[in-house]
Amino acid sequence: MAIIYSYPSATPTTSDVVIGTLLSDDSGENPTKSFSIADIIGLVPAAGTGGTVTSIGLTNTDNFLVIGNTPITTAGDISIDLFTSGGTPSSNTYYRGDGQWAVPPNAVANVYTFTSVPNGTDTDLTLTDTNLVTSVVRLSPGNNIGISTAANVITITNEGVRTISAVAAPLNFVSVDNADAFNPVLGLSATGTPDATSYLRGDNTWATIAGGGTMSSWSIAADTGTAEQVDEAETVTIVGGAGIDTAVAATNTVTVTNSGVTQITATAPIVASAATGAITLTSPTSVNNSTDNFASAPIINNIISLSQTDYNGIGTPDPNTLYVIA
């Protein structure tokens, strides 16, 4: 066996041969063979089927690249450059979407001046740029909001509900938790436990109402007579006397009606002081014999003037009548 490192190095050509082992031959002969370099090169590109690379090239699909010297069929370099439709690249220019090298808009700083002035209940904010172009934004307050401005300082105030506080005892039935100033929590401050059988008592306590009392009897009285005791389950009957009627109606009502004399009408010589109510009857033209205290003769209650003929026709005169014959 030869010692490999004892041979000098050389540059091979396609006509040179190398020693190798042939595995594709099943004849049983000596597998050590000589292979030409040309044959080996023919096997490499196509995985044993033979062939060579004939062309290499590049394409661009978005038109932002310019590709030159493509494809290469033998030897050479492919060039790639950025497509430019105008402008010059510099530290102030940028590649625009249309292929132009250009200065971006507003690349120069624009300084704005801010001022605020009152406009009724509103406040106008005015922005003035470097080119003296102005823009106005108006702040308008909503319900219970106030807006004011002074020296370009805008103040927004709450003119509605600012705080919620509980009243002092003894009317402190409501508690207020202001731990979260924007979401106060209101509740009842009563002690005890509320449930279906408890009620809020005047001393701010949830309590059960004590059981009510019972009535076993009561008394009924009138202008005269002895008061009577009315026991439970007994009924009181209101009875009308002479000229008085009574009637029971709905909603526990008893109506008392005068069914007797309701009005007095006087005729001469009788005079009534009124038609109803407390009435006094008088006879201004009648004989008043109230001072006759003598028992020797009958009291004269009436006086009649008549002729002798009429008197003779009376028969038996009334002993209490004075007859005057005209």
Name the residue among 130, 155, 157, 162 with its Cα closest to residue 142: 157
CB atoms within 10 A of CB 190: 19
Q: Which two tokens stand for residue 34?
A: 């000589």
pLDDT in tens, 120-143: 999 999 999 888 889 999 999 999
Confidence of residue 287 (pLDDT cuts 50, 70, 90): low
pLDDT score, position 16: 87
pTM of the model: 0.30
Cross-strand pairs, 55:
none
d(CA 218, CA 6): 149
Q: Torsions phi, psi of 27, nearest 5? A: -75, -15
Q: Report the alpha-carbon distance of residue 228 to residue 117 in Å, rounded.
A: 90
Backbone angles phi, psi at 6, to 5 degrees: -85, -10
Q: What is the pLDDT of residue 1?
A: 53
- What are the tens digits of pLDDT across the range 189-232? 889 999 988 999 889 999 988 776 677 888 999 888 899 999 98
pLDDT confidence of residue 48 = 47
Q: Where are the domains of the chain?
A: 113-158, 164-191, 267-326
Which value, to the nearest 10 degrees, does the dihedral of the CA atoms of residues 119, 125, 127, 132 take?
10
